[in-house]
Structure 1
Amino acid sequence: MTTADASKAVGSPIAFDAVLFLSFGGPDEPADVRPFLENVTRGRGVPPERLDEVAEHYLHFGGVSPINRLNLEMIDSLRGELVSRGVDLPVFFGNRNWHPMIEDTVVEMYRAGHRRVLVFPTSAWGGYSGCRQYNEDIGRALSAATAALPEIASDPMLLRKLPQYWHEPSFVEAFGDAVIRAVGQLPNRPVRPRLVFTAHSIPVAADRSDGPAGSGGQLYQRQVSAAAAAVAEKAGYGTEFDLVWQSRSGPPQVPWLEPDICDHLEIVATQGAEQVVVCPVGFVSDHLEVVWDLDNEAAETAERLGLGYVRADTVGTDTRFIALIADLIDRYRGGEVPTGPTSLPGDDAGRELGCADNGSTCRAVCCVPARRPART
């Protein structure tokens, strides 16, 4: 009997039987750096000299990205959290751009007998890069597994991405406390430190197409702004914060979301700021974009400008964040197809910040990737 037949026989969905922790990936040694970057940028028109520049960032840290180690630490913590709750679900690890690749992990899971898998992505956000591309990863991996294992045709496998979680209270609370700790690391001054939130920049064209057709776009940007506002409120800053962007790549002629964090530090220094706390709300762990762009480039810029500077922690090691992942798994492991909340905070135009396809396979008209210009 196939998985689908068994579902019909019992008259209810079959419970999910495993978890796939899906992330971006990163090099484990210097020889991995260039192949990894070529995987990341394939088809994007990124000039070779830009790859050389980014490769130097990785080589600064011995050619090893911290992302795989951090993900493995989160997975170990998640396994412990699930065990403590009496939830017997194995957790597997797969990546989009480097080993262990999601294609290999899905084959491993199928051979281990798993047919219904919840997928936790290490992106909290909507939009193409934060959401739809993870569904594309899942589809690609299933196609590869079907080609490698013909028996999947008669005994199918379902992978379903868990919903976006940027708005979850535990996410906001963990980042809010991280900001409070960071403020406490700076000397007391009459004027409290300037609070600056950062997230990964994306091309302006992609920003315009993020979200369901007809929604006005900018889904990712609006979600990041709403999350920053919630964290600032939790940290006691109210509406007094800045939102900037970092880690842009791609051809220089393609506009991306601005201002860049380092450019913004130049501006706040001219405005009389003396201290700055930077919160990387767009990232769940201290991978290369955080440790290079914020702990090196931004920190050096702040020092040159005479600004006191502290970078707030990411939430990956916070027990509340691990509990949040377990909560999402618990919420959907019984067989219910994951879906996003029916109502989310809105923006000034009254647009909801959710996505009708949140947690489900994306529609053809939701977060369609922008056409990339040919490299010249």
Structure 2
Amino acid sequence: MPDVLDATPYDALLLLSFGGPEGPDDVVPFLENVTRGRGIPKERLKEVGQHYFLFGGVSPINDQNRALLDALRKDFAGHGLDLPVYWGNRNWAPYLTDPLREMAADGRRRVLVLATSAYASYSGCRQYRENLADALAALEAEGLAVPRVDKLRHYFNHPGFVEPMADGVVASLAELPEDVREGAHIAFTTHSIPTASADTSGPAEEHGDGGAYVRQHLEVARLVADAVRERTGTEHPWQLVYQSRSGAPHIPWLEPDICDHLEERHAAGVPAVVMAPIGFVSDHMEVLYDLDTEATARARELGLPVRRSATVGADARFAAAVRDLVVERAAVERGQDVTPCALGALGPSHQVCPVGCCPARAPRPAAAGADSPYA
């Protein structure tokens, strides 16, 4: 990290997230936004919305993004990085177009984007880029100055993302009863996606069985498991498993599901499991319901002790990692030599998503990539 932090040529950072309802009346309209174009009946959305109604119709994701915004602003200010931070969502207020309008009005011309998704996949990267293109097209139609947007690289193996998760697993192991702690297994969880989507995740040269999506998660699981071994002196067996599947049952999705995995581990005589949601930046609804509620209830039925480790959230090390990524990308844009920070064997991700990266089933314009119409 240089002594003087320079974000030039960038003049703003946009925190781009999924969004979530903030009250019972928001739930169905939010789910309509998420599923737009899929023809899902409102009655079915009300059934799905029960997960949110269990928590008063409020997703924790917006408050968690507010906390991350605060952490980023404090970190930037504390390290002399002069870069304002804005916030927008794909599926709920503040909608993405609103902060882009605000940035245009504020005269921002080069914007970096931090997506709250650390890994390569259509839903975790390209879909965000498609939403950016839609929002920029809306600004263009309104006659506003359209800023150039660039997306920060995937940060799954940045130490500021990995180390807080390793600490979380160590803390969860310590919470287990002493007689089952040493033999506990670790279930590293992430969002299940269709296998066809996984197979085409990442750049074209990385497509294949599981694609970059599975490969990157396995790398993070190894990194965290190694860190846990170093900190505890115990080798805990682990497996990458999946959660939060949705969609038609005849379409293959990544498996095994976390609940099936807990049943299998219990049948095999495993004394305890730590569920580590490495695929999620924060403790949003899919973590609270699918792990803390559903999977924990299944483990209770089995008599299997489980703990769920924390996500990164607004950890100061993650805010520092974002600062590092900003300074890194700015130096790349200025043509300077940069050594990107990354742990493990995969190395740092690409700075610019190439053509053919995480393709959609039906091609749509996507900003912040080599194929961007707004370069």
Q: TM-score range with shorter-chain normalisation?
A: 0.7 to 0.9
Decide which moves more: 216-225 or 47-56. 47-56
CA drift of 1:46 comes to: 4.9
Deviations 1:126-148 (A, max 9, x none): 12112212221221111111112
Q: Which amino acid aligns with 2:193?
A: I
Is it true that 1:125 corresponds to 2:115 in the alignment? no
Supply the distance in 1 between the matched residues of 2:101 and 2:331 (Cα, whole angstroms): 23
Is it true that 1:250 corresponds to 2:244 in the alignment? no
Q: 5+ residue gaps in structure 2?
A: 1-6, 364-375
Corresponding residue number in structure 2 for 1:285 = 282
Q: Tell whether the 8 Å contact from 1:46 to 1:250 is kept in structure 2 after alignment.
A: no
Q: 5+ residue gaps in structure 1?
A: 1-12, 347-351
Corresponding residue number in structure 1 for 2:372 = none
Q: 2:150 aligns with which of 160, 167, 172?
A: 160
Deviations 1:311-352 (A, max 9, x none): 001111321111111211222345717999699856xxxxx5
Is it true that 1:212 corresponds to 2:203 in the alignment? yes
Is it true that 1:294 corresponds to 2:291 in the alignment? yes
Q: Give the direction of change, closer, same or farther, for the CA distance of 1:204–1:353 in structure 2 (3 Å limit).
A: farther
TM-score, with structure 1 as normaliser: 0.86
Is it true that 1:61 corresponds to 2:58 in the alignment? no
Q: Tell whether the 8 Å contact from 1:81 to 1:323 is kept in structure 2 after alignment.
A: yes
Supply the distance in 2 between the matched residues of 1:43 and 1:115 (Cα, whole angstroms): 32
- Over the matched positions of the two proteins, sequence identity in percent amounts to 47
Supply the distance in 2 between the matched residues of 1:123 and 1:157 (Cα, whole angstroms): 22
Q: 1:83 aligns with which of 66, 69, 77?
A: 77
Query: Which residues of 2 match residues 145-224 of structure 1 at below 5 A?
Result: 145-148=139-142, 150-152=143-145, 156-189=146-179, 191-217=182-208, 218-224=211-217
Supply the distance in 2 between the matched residues of 1:331 and 1:76 (Cα, whole angstroms): 21
Q: 2:227 aligns with which of 189, 212, 234?
A: 234
Decide which moves more: 239-248 or 114-123. 239-248
Corresponding residue number in structure 1 for 2:18 = 24
Q: Give the direction of change, closer, same or farther, for the CA distance of 1:337–1:158 in structure 2 (3 Å limit).
A: farther
Q: Which amino acid aligns with 1:187?
A: P
Q: Which amino acid aligns with 1:285?
A: S
Root-mean-square deviation over aligned CA pairs: 2.5
Supply the distance in 2 between the matched residues of 1:88 and 1:213 (Cα, whole angstroms): 36
Supply the distance in 2 between the matched residues of 1:254 and 1:340 (Cα, whole angstroms): 41
Supply the distance in 2 between the matched residues of 1:342 and 1:193 (Cα, whole angstroms): 31
Supply the distance in 2 between the matched residues of 1:39 and 1:276 (Cα, whole angstroms): 36
Q: Tell whether the 8 Å contact from 1:16 to 1:335 is kept in structure 2 after alignment.
A: no
Deviations 1:141-160 (A, max 9, x none): 11111112x242xxx51111
CA drift of 1:354 comes to: 6.5
CA drift of 1:214 comes to: 4.3
Aligned with 1:235: secondary structure?
helix
Supply the distance in 2 between the matched residues of 1:239 and 1:189 (Cα, whole angstroms): 15
Is it true that 1:264 corresponds to 2:261 in the alignment? yes
Corresponding residue number in structure 2 for 1:104 = 98
Q: Tell whether the 8 Å contact from 1:208 to 1:216 is kept in structure 2 after alignment.
A: yes
Supply the distance in 2 between the matched residues of 1:85 and 1:92 (Cα, whole angstroms): 18
Supply the distance in 1 between the matched residues of 2:140 and 2:361 (Cα, whole angstroms): 29
Aligned with 2:266: secondary structure?
helix
Deviations 1:179-215 (A, max 9, x none): 0000000111264211111000101111122122243
Supply the distance in 1 between the matched residues of 2:64 and 2:239 (Cα, whole angstroms): 28
TM-score, with structure 2 as normaliser: 0.86
Q: 1:310 aligns with which of 304, 307, 316?
A: 307
Q: Which amino acid aligns with 2:243?
A: Q
Q: Tell whether the 8 Å contact from 2:329 to 2:351 is kept in structure 1 after alignment.
A: no
Supply the distance in 1 between the matched residues of 2:321 and 2:200 (Cα, whole angstroms): 29
Q: Give the direction of change, closer, same or farther, for the CA distance of 1:232–1:120 in structure 2 (3 Å limit).
A: same
Corresponding residue number in structure 2 for 1:7 = none
CA drift of 1:47 comes to: 6.0
